[in-house]
Amino acid sequence: MAFIFDDTNVRQEIESGKPVVIDFWAQWCGPCKHISPIVEELAQEYEGKVLIGKYDVDEGADLLAEYNIRNIPTILFFKDGKLFDRHVGSTTKEILAEKINALL
């Protein structure tokens, strides 16, 4: 299951140094619903190697301005505590897996 990021834990996880992938989403977002199962599958497949989770934009706002999140879904990829890559919009599992593998 994908990790649930919120304003209380997100910075700690990013700064941990391990690879982190954050899916910025909302319940009302159609494209977010489309990639949600993909994010869940990848979270299981990369468990123990990469922390993959979701950040509900309606529940928190701290990161939206900091990382210029203007559209959802937006997926951010962090390596060594720094933003490494981003993807905006719906996508395939293969494209996300390529970006995750680049973190490793």
Query: Which residues on neighbouring strands pair with residue 76, listed in sequence order?
Result: 22, 86
Catalytic-labelled residue, pool 14, 21, 32, 72: 32
As to burial, measured by CB atoms within 10 angstroms (0-12 exposed, 13-18 middle, 19+ buried), residue 87 is middle
The Cα–Cα gap between 40 and 45 comes to: 9
Residue 37 known to be catalytic? no
Please tell me the number of Cα atoms within 13 Å of 22 on its side-chain side. 25
Residue 94 known to be catalytic? no
* The one-letter amino acid at 35: I
Please report where in the chains the tokens 């890559």 appear, as a residue: 85
Catalytic-labelled residue, pool 2, 10, 20, 29: 29
Catalytic residue annotation: 29, 32
